[in-house]
Amino acid sequence: MSNGSATMSSPPIEQLQGVVERLTFHSEESGYTVARLKAPRTRELITIVGSFANIQAGQTLQLQGIWRDHPKYGPQFQVKQYKETKPATLTGIEKYLGSGLIKGVGPVTAKRIVAHFGLDTLDIIEHHIDRLSEVPGIAKKRVKMIQTAWDSQKAIKEVMVFLQGHGVSTTYAVKIFKQYGDEAIETVTHNPYRLATDVYGIGFITADQIARSLGISPHSEYRYRSGLLHVLSESSEEGHCYLPQPQLIDRAVKQLTLPEYHPKPDQVEYLIHAMISDAELIVEQIERETSTELLCYAPPFFRAEFHLSRRLLHLLAHPIKVDKNRVRSWLERFMAQTDVNLSQQQQQAVELAASERVVILTGGPGTGKTFTTRTIVALWKAMGKEIVLASPTGRAAQRLSEVTGHEAKTIHRLLEFDPKTMKFQRDSERTLVADAVVIDEASMLDLFLANSLIKAIGPETQLLLVGDTDQLPSVGPGNVLLDLITAKQIPVMELTEIFRQAQASHIIRNAHRINQGQFPQLESVSPSPMSDCLWLGAPEPEQGVQAIQELINDLIPQLGYVPARDVQVLCPMTRGEVGTRKLNQVLQALINPPHPDKAELTRGGLTLRVGDRVLQQVNDYNREVFNGDMGVIEAINLEEIAVTVQYAERSVSYDLADLNEIGLAWAVTIHKSQGSEYPVVILPMYMQHYIMLSRNLLYTGLTRAKKLAMLVGPKNAISMAVRQIKDRQRYTLLERRLGGVPKANESLASAIL
């Protein structure tokens, strides 16, 4: 009886065929999809739910699955198996052509083509593509573009079918084909772990899933080597340049463990030694009081750290001869002419910059770093020096240019990055043509950017690094500015005196209070605030979301600010009710709602609309836009599925395959806001983000506000942020190397560099 009743209670497997009308939700990571299907002889769209390696509007699918009745959403077809068939209906052909797979054909053009050729459309494109010029609005130039795209799509069809059979999405399949061409299948079959290093967006976890699908053994040496490099790469996202060997082994064992497979630590240790022999890993030995510690580097990290320390020491070994009395006389004249009295600290900083090869200028907000920098630039000009200025981000460079009256660039543009060679054109062989270089927001310098910069500084060039070590450290590996200061090899001028004008700002006063571990003095939000630093309780996250909307709708416009231009919401994290993901959807609907005159594009659950503020999420050297750059969507071409973004320095166009590089930026994380300033900043601070709340996070977020800061959330979350000092140690030996590489490693260094 039990068997009979079990059989009766199980819904029967059914067949269903139809055209995908639209995607409601699709996860690139898991493949989980909710879509709406148009089946023959049915008026209503059918909701289908399942895991799809790739799914696009317009595909005709044959599905096997079961019907379920969802308590909230009603009948759904749960897909167990599926396969794509060539679209056989006019609607299917139209959707297929307009899905974005073929550049040059968007929904509008697809509709025209199908209206003209009907069911013969695909045959016409395949064999008589010149006839597309018969379609109104399609010029010969467009026909050539469509032909190229069609041929390319045909060329990768075999590769895509193979990859999708092993769980790879269309987007990644295209990138894999671009990387390997006709050798894609052979490369992936032989060693899928190459994808983790060669193709952006495919990490070790995805490569490992593909490898398992291909039947590659979990104890494959390729897997172990890739897993170890993945662990080091992941640790670099925490700011580490290396990992102690015991930590590397422990993390790698966890990473390589599968439900059916448990690697042993000694197996991982054996592979570490094999990788050291093959120069895939580098180990630094550090003698402690009671033991020898082995520190494991991926080679690029070791080389960058070693070279950075050596080049800095080389620069410092070339002193400058300068008449300090003449410098002081110039400074007195400058102060008299500008009617500005520099503090003793500021004057010392100017004299130091005139007489030292490398100088660090640091200090908190309101201490006069900007005016001191401007004075140093004026002095260097008076000395006849050729000066270049740069910052890590476009926005910071723009601000540096405004305050100094001198052109400033991003460091990448200053060093002339060439996307063809993937290298900076300015280096030790072709140094910067400058007598003096100023780098602002130096706390953002990670190990690799700092190394590339110092490499391009000639032995006779002076360097001024300006930054605030109380801000969050760089997003990338290393803690460069702090290491340079604590090494005590480079002259440092720290400005501590807060100027009277700055003391009037509650933003600046509170930033210093936070730094000293004191709770900020906050004025409650009111229609006529007296302070530039406000607080709104809103105890629960859901109330916080509502409060932020009300501030943007009502108070902020009343105070004379334009939300679309002036307001930036900064969050501790991406997740949660008051994380960037949820808030971006809310703020997009509020600040930049849909409009018939605004083109918009939805891909993978993300809607992009003309007028949206967006953030570049990775370094894209081909387009010369970098992680953290912020811009505004100025155009969306639905025909070619292309999005054009206006950044501070230039416009950049993205095609379908690269749209995952950008995301909405009405709300961004505080980490991503480094180097930027905004007229109005809203900071939601809630205990749901307790893991990230810290003093330097709150300090960094608050000091991004130029004119008005508004904290939203309960005081206990703000208090926790003030109390928590999360300057977690970053594994870096830069400070130690500036005192000289340990003698035991001189032979190692010379052998590998």
DSSP single-letter state for residue 475: S
**Residue 122 within a domain:** no
Q: Are 661 and 631 in contact (CB under 8 A)?
A: no
Tens-digit pLDDT profile for residues 430-440 = 999 999 999 99
Closest by alpha carbon to 121, among 139, 140, 141, 94? 94
Confidence of residue 2 (pLDDT cuts 50, 70, 90): very low
Q: Is the domain of 290 the same as that of 321? A: no
| Number of domains the chain contains | 5
Q: Is the domain of 572 the same as that of 718? A: yes
Confidence of residue 11 (pLDDT cuts 50, 70, 90): confident
Residue 74 has pLDDT above 90, yes or no: no
Q: Tell which of 84, 106, 131 closes a domain.
A: 84
Instruction: Look at residue 742 in the predicted model and tell me its pLDDT.
Output: 47
Q: How far apart (Å, rounded) are the C-alpha atoms in residues 477 and 451?
A: 12
Dihedral sign (CA 679, 445, 239, 418): positive
Q: What whole-number percentage of the chain has pLDDT above 90? A: 54
Q: Tally Cβ neighbours within 10 Å of residue 728.
A: 10
Instruction: Look at residue 3 in the predicted model and tell me its pLDDT.
Output: 45
Q: Tell which of 664, 679, 698 closes a domain.
A: 664
Q: Is the domain of 423 the same as that of 278? A: no
**Residue 182 within a domain:** no
Q: How far apart (Å, rounded) are the C-alpha atoms in residues 121 and 113?
A: 7
The per-residue pLDDT of the chain, averaged, comes to 87
- Across 61-65, 156-160, 400-404, 680-684, which has the greatest mean pLDDT? 680-684
First to last CA, the chain: 75
Which of 309-313, 339-343, 624-628, 667-671 has the weakest average pLDDT? 624-628
CATH of the domain at 337: 3.40.50.300
* Measured CA distances, 446 to 392, 400, 418, 475, 716 (Å): 10, 19, 20, 7, 33
Residue 752 has pLDDT above 60, yes or no: no
> Which residues make up each annotated binding site?
366-370
Tens-digit pLDDT profile for residues 18-72 = 888 888 887 765 678 888 888 887 888 899 998 886 677 777 888 999 998 887 7
**Residue 341 within a domain:** yes
Domain that holds residue 547: 505-592+666-729
Confidence of residue 415 (pLDDT cuts 50, 70, 90): very high
Q: How far apart (Å, rounded) are the C-alpha atoms in residues 98 and 102?
A: 8
Dihedral sign (CA 111, 116, 120, 125): negative
Q: Please report the DSSP string for 415-457 in residue order.
A: TTEETTTTEES-SSSS--S-SEEEE-SGGG--HHHHHHHHHTS
**Residue 90 within a domain:** no
Q: Is the domain of 347 the same as that of 433? A: yes
Q: Is the domain of 350 the same as that of 461? A: yes
pLDDT top residue among 74 and 492: 492
Tens-digit pLDDT profile for residues 551-591 = 999 999 999 999 999 999 999 999 999 999 999 999 999 99
Q: Is the domain of 644 the same as that of 660? A: yes
Instruction: Look at residue 380 in the predicted model and tell me its pLDDT.
Output: 96
Dihedral sign (CA 18, 22, 24, 30): positive
**Residue 97 within a domain:** no
Q: Is the domain of 78 the same as that of 46? A: yes
Q: Is the domain of 604 the same as that of 677? A: no
Give the list of residues 6+ apart from residue 631 with CB closer than 8 angstroms, or none: 613, 614, 616, 625, 645, 646, 647, 648, 652
Q: Is the domain of 584 the same as that of 602? A: no
Q: How far apart (Å, rounded) are the C-alpha atoms in residues 543 and 537?
A: 9
Tens-digit pLDDT profile for residues 631-658 = 999 999 887 778 999 987 789 998 776 7
Q: Is the domain of 406 the same as that of 442? A: yes
Instruction: Look at residue 206 in the predicted model and tell me its pLDDT.
Output: 85
Instruction: Look at residue 420 in the predicted model and tell me its pLDDT.
Output: 75
Instruction: Look at residue 4 in the predicted model and tell me its pLDDT.
Output: 43
> Which residues make up each annotated binding site for ATP?
366-370
Which of 26-30, 356-360, 373-377, 486-490 has the weakest average pLDDT? 26-30
